[in-house]
Structure 1
Amino acid sequence: MIELDDLDRKLLRLLKQDARQSASALGRRVGLSQPAAWRRIRRLEDAGVIAGQMLRLDPEKLGFGVTVFLGVKLSTRARVSLEDFERAVTAIPEVQRVEHMLGLYDYRLRVIARDLADFERVLRRRIMTLPGVGNVEANVLLTEERLPGPI
């Protein structure tokens, strides 16, 4: 594990807000020269602290107005491997996130759809036909108050 100081943490917070910032701009904001800021960022990347950059799209502006969280319990009778289920579920484009859980459900899925009718189609034709699916519980997202931020 890499040791992080206050400057590293400040850089990470700034990069989390906007990963497109230049090393020069970041350095100015934390009191470092451009080369020093660049070296710190490179060190964080090399250590795996910064695992990449991600483009975040607004699903609503792309026509996906419904987000549903599904709890999926695999059937014990189906004798399907976790890898088979994961491979099949990650191939569904409406499934934005797959989380293997410990608890009541084996998996939690984040699913986007154009509307409830579209979600029902995805649920019936794609998700319920996956290998090993047993019980499913759906929770419709009403609002999202906080987006993921720095740790």
Structure 2
Amino acid sequence: MIELDEIDRALLREVRADATLATGELGRRLGLSQPAAWRRMKRLNEAGVLAGRRLVVDREALGFGVTVFLGVKLAMKGRVSLDEFERAASAIPEVQTIEHVLGLYDYRLRVVARDLSDFERVLRRRIMTLPGAGDVEANVLLSEERLPGPI
């Protein structure tokens, strides 16, 4: 585990807000030189604190107005491998995340759809036909707030 100081935390907050910032700009914002900001970024990358950079796509702007969280309980745990379920679920473009969880359900899926009828189509034709899929519980996302900054 890497020790983080206040400058590292501030750097992470800045990068989380805008991962496209150049190290020179990061340095200016934090009162560091460009080389000092670059060294800190390199250290965070090498330590695995920064695990890549992602582009955030506005799903609604692309016509995907509904997000649903599905709890999926496998019907036949012994007969179907977890890898097989995960591989098949990964092949469904509307499935954004697949989380293997402990609790009432075996998996939690984040699914996007254009509208509720589109979601119903995805559920019936794709999700319910996944290997081992059993009970499913759907929770429609009403709103989402992101917490600022890193953990």
What TM bracket, shorter-length normalisation? over 0.9
CA distance in 2, matches of 1:32, 1:143: 38
CA distance in 2, matches of 1:82, 1:146: 30
CA distance in 1, matches of 2:49, 2:29: 20
What's 1:40 paired with?
A: 40
Are the counterparts in 2 of residues 73 and 107 from structure 1 also a CA contact under 8 Å?
yes
CA gap 1:149/1:118 in 2 versus in 1, 3 angstroms: farther
What's 1:129 paired with?
A: 129
What's 1:89 paired with?
A: 89
Are the counterparts in 1 of residues 100 and 106 from structure 2 also a CA contact under 8 Å?
yes
What's 1:99 paired with?
A: 99
Structure 1 regions of 5+ residues with no counterpart? none
Return structure 1 stretches of 4+ with deviation > 3 angstroms. none
The amino acid of 2:120's aligned partner reads E
Percent of counterpart pairs with the same letter? Answer: 73
Are the counterparts in 2 of residues 23 and 34 from structure 1 also a CA contact under 8 Å?
yes
Structure 2 residue matching 1:137: 3-state secondary structure: strand
Structure 1 residue matching 2:111: 3-state secondary structure: strand
Q: Superposed, which structure 2 residues align to 1:105-144 within 5 Å?
A: 105-144=105-144
CA distance in 1, matches of 2:105, 2:15: 34
Cα RMSD (Å) of the superposition?
A: 1.3
CA distance in 1, matches of 2:9, 2:147: 19
Are the counterparts in 2 of residues 12 and 150 from structure 1 also a CA contact under 8 Å?
yes
Deviation at 1:142, TM superposition (A): 1.1
Are the counterparts in 1 of residues 12 and 149 from structure 2 also a CA contact under 8 Å?
no
Alignment deviations for residues 71-130 of structure 1 (CA, whole Å, 9 cap, x no partner): 000013661000000000011000001111000000000000001110000000000000
Deviation at 1:29, TM superposition (A): 1.0
What's 2:15 paired with?
A: 15
**1:3 equivalent in alignment to 2:7:** no
Structure 2 residue matching 1:25: 3-state secondary structure: helix
The alignment covers a number of residue pairs equal to 151
TM-score (norm 2): 0.96
Structure 2 residue matching 1:11: 3-state secondary structure: helix
TM-score (norm 1): 0.96
